């Protein structure tokens, strides 16, 4: 960690607390209620939210949930399920994400899949990157997991975790006409989840990490029939997670170069009453 005195969500990213990018993005997509799960430094996050514009927002209600005993995302989701806070499909993301994507097309595709197949329980968001895999750690730092995605219709999804500068041998047939291995996708840590996701976390107490435990566990239990899908951002959309120092530097440079418009330094997005224009074009 960079500091043990402040939560990561409140660290400045281009002079703006990191959590503001996630909250503003959710509000722009007409999310009506957001639960902010706090563990370490929960008092600082609650104080920040109570003194920010979100305490007076009429468009999106922001509710902090505090539990100092939860040490992983899996434990947090199990607690949310125990409190019965979520009834339908929900957006799952961390406070360190930056994105300007529109959720409407992704939600529409997710709901269409759910209507046709109730086993489609999660849609993961990835963004295509142009730099080759062996140079990706230089910009974004070590990759936690890289999901090779199949084409539509999606028969399966496999997630491989592998160390830097090594090439894994995937446990599938690369020449299968129904499979496609992608090495140009970066996980954004954004997902649309069905309520069944919470139930699976509650039923499997060994699920701690979402990508490493939950995704791999769901795919290995083929008899249950649960399916995961990947949504690739369009060319004018941006999505990234600040999960280490190199990604912190990369996202900061992207913001300064206006790749995540309207989240740029010369707009009033983060001011009280700010109402930026959100068009189809990103200005760079």
| Interval 192-240: pLDDT, tens | 999 999 999 999 988 999 988 999 889 888 778 899 999 999 888 999 9
- Select from 123, 129, 144, 95 the least CA-distant residue to 196: 123
Q: What is the pLDDT of residue 112?
A: 93
Q: Which domains does the chain have, with CATH numbers?
A: 8-256 (3.90.550.10)
Q: What is the pLDDT of residue 271?
A: 67
Q: What is the pLDDT of residues 75-133, one digit of tens each?
A: 999 999 999 999 999 999 999 999 999 999 999 999 999 999 999 999 999 998 876 55
Cβ neighbour number for residue 8 with a 10 Å cutoff? 18
- pLDDT at position 279 over 60: no
Q: What are the φ and ψ backbone dihedral angles of 191, each rounded to 5 degrees?
A: -150, 150
Task: Provide, rounded to the nearest whole percent, the portion of the chain with pLDDT above 90.
Answer: 52
Pick the most confident of 86-90, 135-139, 264-268. 86-90
Q: What is the pLDDT of residue 233?
A: 92
Banded pLDDT at 163 (limits 50, 70, 90): very low
- Select from 260, 268, 204, 206 the least CA-distant residue to 236: 260
- pTM of the model as a whole: 0.81
Choose the weakest-confidence range: 15-29, 49-63, 170-184, 216-230: 170-184
The C-alpha atoms of residue 194 and residue 124 are separated, in whole angstroms, by 12
Place of tokens 């009033």: 268
CA dihedral 148, 151, 156, 162 (to 10 degrees): 0
Q: What is the mean pLDDT of the chain?
A: 81
Mean pLDDT computed over 256-264? 89
Q: What is the pLDDT of residue 175?
A: 55
């Amino acid at each position: 960690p960079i500091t043990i005195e402040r939560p990561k969500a409140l660290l400045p990213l281009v002079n703006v607390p990191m959590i503001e990018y996630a909250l503003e993005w959710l509000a722009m997509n007409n999310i009506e209620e957001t639960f902010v799960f706090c563990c370490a430094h929960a008092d600082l996050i609650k104080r920040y939210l109570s003194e920010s514009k979100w305490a007076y927002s009429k468009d999106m209600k922001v509710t902090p949930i505090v539990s100092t005993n939860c040490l992983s995302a899996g434990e947090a989701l199990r607690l949310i399920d125990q409190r019965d806070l979520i009834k339908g499909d929900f957006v799952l993301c961390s406070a360190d994400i930056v994105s300007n994507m529109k959720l409407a097309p992704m939600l529409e595709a997710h709901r269409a899949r759910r209507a046709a197949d109730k086993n489609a329980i999660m849609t993961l968001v990835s963004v295509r990157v142009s730099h080759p895999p062996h140079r990706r750690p230089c910009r974004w730092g070590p990759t936690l997991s890289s999901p090779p995605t199949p084409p539509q219709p999606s028969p399966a999804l496999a997630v491989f975790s592998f160390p830097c500068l090594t090439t894994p041998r995937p446990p599938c047939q690369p020449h299968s006409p129904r499979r496609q291995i992608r090495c140009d996708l970066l996980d954004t840590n954004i997902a649309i989840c069905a309520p069944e996701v919470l139930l699976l976390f509650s039923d499997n107490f060994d699920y701690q990490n979402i990508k490493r435990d939950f995704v791999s566990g769901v795919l290995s239990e083929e008899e249950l029939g649960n399916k995961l899908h990947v949504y690739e951002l369009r060319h004018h959309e941006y999505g990234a997670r600040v999960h280490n120092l190199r990604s912190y530097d990369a996202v900061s440079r992207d913001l300064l170069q206006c790749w995540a418009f309207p989240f740029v330094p010369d707009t009033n997005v983060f001011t009280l009453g700010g109402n930026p224009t959100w068009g189809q074009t990103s200005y760079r």
